[in-house]
Amino acid sequence: MRGFWRKGGLVIAGAGIQGFGMGVFLFPHSIPSGGAGGLAVLINYWFNLNIGFSLWLVNFLMLALAIKYLGNRSTAWTIASITITSLSIYAFQHLIDVPQRNVLIDLALGSIFLGIGVGLLLREGVSNGGVGVIALIISNSRNTLPGKPLFLINGCIFILTASIIAWEIILQALLSQYISTVIVDLLGRANPGQSYSIGWRKK
């Protein structure tokens, strides 16, 4: 039971921290936080749908496609993480108003918070969303850290997003991903005994 509450606390913290970075610093500039974030930005751009809900919808649909790789327990934790993240984005966007913005400062701060949040989730074997599921699968199969596959997959989605909205987004998004994935891997190396594994899943 103690392990459950510890894991639950870290999942809430990780999801809330990444939601803070995305909602307060990245999304106001339409900077995608990742592959799912890029798709959420597009949905918001096309349909004017709340970006927090758009992110939840994209993550839920991608999770449904990958559910066979996760199993019941990991799926439940992942649904919790994407729900808390989306609610955090919505809450922080309405509670925190940044009067003067600088895109580079916001990009750096948002990426650091994003990396911390994602890193905490992945250390607990919990995906931060759709693309995180794929990164966990790849890192598990190749016995490697998840930062590189996250960067490569997200890069493809950034190109699509930038081609539709504005090309400068791709540079901002790639820089954000570089910073955040460095943080993800730093957190992974800080706890070498923790494996990014989904092998314990229940089928």
Q: What is the pLDDT along the chain (203 residues), one digit of tens a residue?
A: 777 888 899 999 999 999 999 999 999 988 887 788 888 888 988 898 888 888 888 888 877 766 766 666 777 888 888 899 999 999 998 898 888 889 999 999 999 999 999 899 888 878 766 676 677 677 777 777 767 777 787 778 888 888 888 888 888 888 988 899 899 888 877 665 554 443 333 32
Count of domains for the chain: 1
200 within domain boundaries? no
Of 182, 65, 63, 190, residue with least CA distance to 127 = 63
End-to-end CA distance of the chain: 22
Nearest-angstrom CA–CA distance, 130 and 164: 21
66 within domain boundaries? yes
169 within domain boundaries? yes
Hey, what long-range contacts does 169-177 have (CB within 8 A, 24 or more apart)?
Answer: 169/30, 169/31, 169/32, 172/29, 172/31, 172/103, 172/107, 173/31, 173/32, 173/38, 175/107, 175/111, 176/26, 176/31, 176/32, 176/33, 176/107, 176/110, 176/111, 176/114, 177/34, 177/111, 177/150, 177/151
203 within domain boundaries? no
Q: Which domain holds residue 143?
A: 2-190
59 within domain boundaries? yes
